[in-house]
Structure 1
Amino acid sequence: MPAGKYQLLVVDSSNANRTLIGECLGQLDDADVHLAADGGEAITRIASIRPDLILIDMHLRDTDGIRLVRQIRNRESLGSSDDDLTLWTPVIFLSAVMDDEMIAQGIIAGGDDFLHKPVSEVVLLAKVRAMLRIVGMQRDIHAAHRRLRQIATLDGLTCIPNRRYFDETLATEWKRCQRAGAPLSLVLIDVDFFKQFNDAYGHQAGDQCLKAIASALTESLFRVEDSVARYGGEEFAAILPGTDSRGAQAVAERMRASVRELRIPHERGIDSLASCSFGIASLRPDSERSAEQLLQAADQSLYEAKHGGRNRSELNPGWQT
């Protein structure tokens, strides 16, 4: 379907009515029109095309319009769109019977407007255009929300995900890996002797150093489900869902080598170059342990790496898969 076009769904058990309304709506250059003959087909079409507007006849061969709208609203309440805003699809009821009580019940059930059949072509197009203006505003709000969310979860200096993103992603991946019985690994990363780097070269050089290291760490991840975030100060953290301890060690070593390959001068560093230390912990999430405990285990590993000479990675022996 063409990008940017509105997707309209007409649900009517009468083939003649369905075709007539579809042809009328086909005059809208910025919309694609889809047709469904009953409630079951409508639910299937909704799942596949995610319509921006639905027109539903009150009397369908397998259900009635009010029950169908309740079903649609219930499905919307159980899920959310990609940017975490509640999905809302406007619904216009169609009926050959004018009944105040039925109209009231339809609106209470989740309908947004009502049209009497036979529908005037002029009125139908006007109503649909009015609804699509609202849908357009909803699109703009969702786009603005996505931009704000992206800004809120990016570190301003390094332009990689920040601590907020890390916390949210760790909580999500913990639950997902627990359901799947899959391993989850964490790698905590600390830039070696970073205070001494700032003292020797200045904070502006320190910022450039962090940017370069953040880029090297990110480029060392080969799977889309893996992520690295700035954890705070000169610390970074990588979340590796579905990766066991051996795989996490390989990722950490790849990161360590990538940082060294930057060859950033550091007169008080390891062999006069900037480097990082890595702490690794891995497990299969269960109800007996928590993500916070996994994080503490990785932090203990990082402590061992730093006190073991730096520019190295350490795996917590009690937390490996």
Structure 2
Amino acid sequence: MIDKYPDQSRRYPIMSAQATSDRRRPSVLVIDPSASNRALICECLRQLPEIRTMATGDADQALQMFRENLPGLVLLDTTQQDTNGIELTRKIRAWELSRIETGISPWTPIVFLSSVTDEDTLAQGILAGGDDFLSKPVSEVVLLAKVRAMLRISTRQQEICEVHRQLKEIAILDSLTGIPNRRHFDDTLAVEWKRCIRNDTPLSIVLSDVDFFKQFNDIYGHQAGDFCLKAVASSLSESLFRVEDTVARYGGEEFVAILPGTDANGAYAVAERMRQSACDLHIPHERGIDGRVSCSFGVASTHPSTEKAPQQLVKTADANLYAAKSAGRNRVILNLE
């Protein structure tokens, strides 16, 4: 049984230096108000060299440690000095739900350790978000087997989250340029349109096109064309200084930027900065403007409302882009609605 070990709690700080230097190993967070119990559990877990342990008896500190270290498993005594284990479980699950990424929230197995075998307490713990229950004193064999099993499940869940994240990234990113694709632009425009209505703020977009790109492909080949598009995409992205601004590949050699909260004058300034950035790449183009690759830009800005549609903003930007190309290319055109 675990309770055969002497009290060695002083040997176990919250996180050892070895654990800090090897954070890739799965970790177990032990939460128990008794220092001697924490020491005994940690001593038992040391038989599993592939894991690292953390321990605390304070519920608030436990929640902080959970947030900062994201353990693979929590071993939790149901009775804490300042709050009960069931309430702490609810707080952990609520925090995990607040961190939903790519449509999937993280999940960490929680196993209750308690000398109380009341069925109602067990049911409340499971309903609060617990996953299993072990009665104290816990057999070493059972505890080690349970930890291995739960960490196995936790690892698989993390792998699923990572695969889901990668799939979503593939779905929203353009495979050639690495910037968001048309689908992401459409979704973002719809979201930002509604946000600007709620906040009563302007919304602008900048639609751009690489000048004489077909001729560039004909002269230098498609590999050079791909390089050109990637370079232009990068330069346009680097021209956006705010995190809320987004540039996406609209299709072919066209790119589009969404500028929420930006009025017409601000959008024009951004477009001009993007135009200059593309020219500064100095990509040779014998049929281009001044012998190098350049871009034309159409800017549209509006104050979104329920009486308007975001597609109209795109239509206006497209018309202004066409005007920029008709006027000689390598320029920015803004005609207000």
Q: Shorter-chain TM-score category?
A: 0.7 to 0.9
Alignment pair present for 1:9 and 2:29: yes
2:111 is aligned to 92
- Give the counterpart of 2:321 among 292, 296, 302: 302
* CA offset digits 1:167-190 (Å, max 9, x no partner): 344456667778888875432112
* CA offset digits 1:247-269 (Å, max 9, x no partner): 543432233234334343253x5
Mapping of residues 25-44 of structure 1, within 5 Å: 25-44=45-64
Contact residue 53 and residue 90 of structure 1 kept, 8 A: yes
Contact residue 301 and residue 336 of structure 2 kept, 8 A: no
- Give the counterpart of 1:103 among 113, 118, 122: 122
Amino acid aligned to 2:77:
D
Across the aligned residues of Structure 1 and Structure 2, the Cα RMSD in angstroms comes to 3.4
Distance in structure 1 (CA, Å) of the matches to 2:51 and 2:284: 55
Q: Given the two structures, how large is their TM-score scaled by the length of structure 2?
A: 0.76
1:228 is aligned to 247
Contact residue 280 and residue 315 of structure 1 kept, 8 A: yes
Q: How many residues align?
A: 316
Amino acid aligned to 1:117:
K
Contact residue 228 and residue 283 of structure 2 kept, 8 A: no
Contact residue 187 and residue 279 of structure 1 kept, 8 A: yes
Amino acid aligned to 1:155:
D
Amino acid aligned to 2:44:
C
Distance in structure 2 (CA, Å) of the matches to 1:24 and 1:175: 55
Alignment pair present for 1:122 and 2:137: no
Give the superposition deviation at 1:157.
3.2
Amino acid aligned to 1:188:
L
Contact residue 227 and residue 238 of structure 1 kept, 8 A: yes
* CA offset digits 1:222-268 (Å, max 9, x no partner): 5666442211122101234566655543432233234334343253x
Q: Given the two structures, how large is their TM-score scaled by the length of structure 1?
A: 0.79
Mapping of residues 146-165 of structure 1, within 5 Å: 146-165=165-184
Distance in structure 2 (CA, Å) of the matches to 1:15 and 1:289: 64
Distance in structure 2 (CA, Å) of the matches to 1:48 and 1:176: 31
Mapping of residues 126-275 of structure 1, within 5 Å: 126-171=145-190, 185-195=204-214, 206-221=225-240, 226-240=245-259, 245-261=264-280, 262-267=282-287, 269-271=288-290, 273-275=292-294
* CA offset digits 1:93-147 (Å, max 9, x no partner): 1110223443333223321111111122232222112111111112222222222
Distance in structure 1 (CA, Å) of the matches to 2:334 and 2:94: 46
**Taking structure 1 as reference, are residues 263 and 283 closer, same or farther at Cα in structure 2, changes over 3 Å only?**
same
Distance in structure 1 (CA, Å) of the matches to 2:214 and 2:153: 54
Give the superposition deviation at 1:57.
1.2
Alignment pair present for 1:51 and 2:60: no
Amino acid aligned to 1:125:
L
- Give the counterpart of 2:95 among 51, 59, 75: 75
Give the superposition deviation at 1:202.
6.6
Amino acid aligned to 2:116:
V
Comparing 221-230 and 200-209, the one that deviates more: 200-209
Give the superposition deviation at 1:313.
0.8
Distance in structure 1 (CA, Å) of the matches to 2:197 and 2:142: 53
Contact residue 110 and residue 131 of structure 2 kept, 8 A: yes
**Taking structure 1 as reference, are residues 160 and 79 closer, same or farther at Cα in structure 2, changes over 3 Å only?**
closer
Distance in structure 1 (CA, Å) of the matches to 2:67 and 2:73: 13
Distance in structure 1 (CA, Å) of the matches to 2:68 and 2:194: 27
Give the superposition deviation at 1:12.
1.9
Comparing 85-94 and 103-112, the one that deviates more: 103-112
Give the unaligned 5+ runs of structure 2.
Answer: 1-19
